[in-house]
Chain A
Amino acid sequence: EGQLVESGGGLVQPGRSMKLSCAASGFTFKNYDMAWVCQAPNKGLEWVATISYDGSSTYYRDSVKGRFTISRDNAKSTLYLQMDSLRSEDTATYYCARPGYGYYDYWGQGVTVTVSS
């Protein structure tokens, strides 16, 4: 059974940076694309970014392009999300998720990012 555990959230001021991590176990991490999905307070789910299994391709939603960077270390089975120039509208719970065959079959427990002065 796969497991994803996020870390790195918290309170950050607008314009500053934060890096999230997601440690994977229970499956062969290097064989799978991975993604970040966010959920603003009392709102729905939104895809943020996806990275291919080997890190060669990355995709971002428009609102984070140029500010967020998704990356991975397959040797450590870890996914990252570097978030720069943070805005109040980035406040959300961020989930690490595995897009298996189109749907997200494994999810982390989520980490909260609050952007506020």
Chain B
Amino acid sequence: DIQMTQSPSLLSASVGDRVTLNCKASQNIYKNLAWYQQKLGEAPKVLIYNADTLQTAIPSRFSGSGSGTDFTLTISSLQPEDVATYFCQQYYRGSWTFGGGTKLEMK
């Protein structure tokens, strides 16, 4: 299986900060990557697919980039409602696998 590694595992930031979350694949997955947001007690929600395509109704402060093995989710101006855990997921080959998550907290 393709392994997905996210960093950092925990991130504290302030309202208005630009925040960057990282995801690394163990092999080339081209752009077959999605990002999800999971708030406490809720199901995950897809934010980004195909590495850089914003899902319908997701605020434009979220953006994704990268290809191959290295990917980034950026929140341009952090809002209080963005407190959540963020997961990346590859869908290139085999069992679709998720990263371990980045928990985003407010300072």
Q: Which residues of B contact A110 (CB under 8 A)?
A: 43
- Which 7 pairs across A and B sit closest by C-beta, in order of nearness? A102-B91, A103-B34, A107-B43, A45-B98, A103-B49, A44-B100, A44-B101
Q: How far is the CB of A19 from chain B (nearest CB, A)?
A: 20
Answer whether residue B83 sits at the interface, using C-beta atoms and an 8 A cutoff.
no
Inter-chain CA distance A105–B46, complex, in Å, is 6
Q: Which residues of B contact A (CB under 8 A)?
A: 32, 34, 36, 42-46, 49-50, 55, 87, 89, 91, 95-101
Q: How many residues of chain A get a CB closer than 8 Å to chain B's CBs? A: 17
Closest-by-CB residue of A relative to B48 is A103
Contact residues of A between 88 and 117, Cβ < 8 Å to B: 95, 99, 101-105, 107-110
Inter-chain CA distance A104–B91, complex, in Å, is 10
Say whether B49 contacts A107, CB under 8 Å.
Answer: no
Say whether B49 contacts A101, CB under 8 Å.
Answer: yes
Say whether A95 contacts B43, CB under 8 Å.
Answer: yes
Contact of A47 with B96 at beta-carbon distance under 8 Å, contacts A102-B32, A102-B49, A102-B91 already known: yes
Contact of A46 with B98 at beta-carbon distance under 8 Å, contacts A102-B34, A103-B34 already known: yes
Answer whether residue A61 sits at the interface, using C-beta atoms and an 8 A cutoff.
yes
Say whether B101 contacts A103, CB under 8 Å.
Answer: no
Say whether A45 contacts B89, CB under 8 Å.
Answer: yes
Contact residues of A between 10 and 69, Cβ < 8 Å to B: 44-47, 59, 61
Say whether A103 contacts B89, CB under 8 Å.
Answer: yes
Say whether A103 contacts B43, CB under 8 Å.
Answer: no
Contact of A47 with B97 at beta-carbon distance under 8 Å, contacts A102-B49, A103-B89, A103-B91 already known: yes
Say whether B96 contacts A99, CB under 8 Å.
Answer: yes
Q: Which residues of B contact A61 (CB under 8 A)?
A: 95
Q: Which residues of B contact A46 (CB under 8 A)?
A: 98
Closest-by-CB residue of B relative to A96 is B43
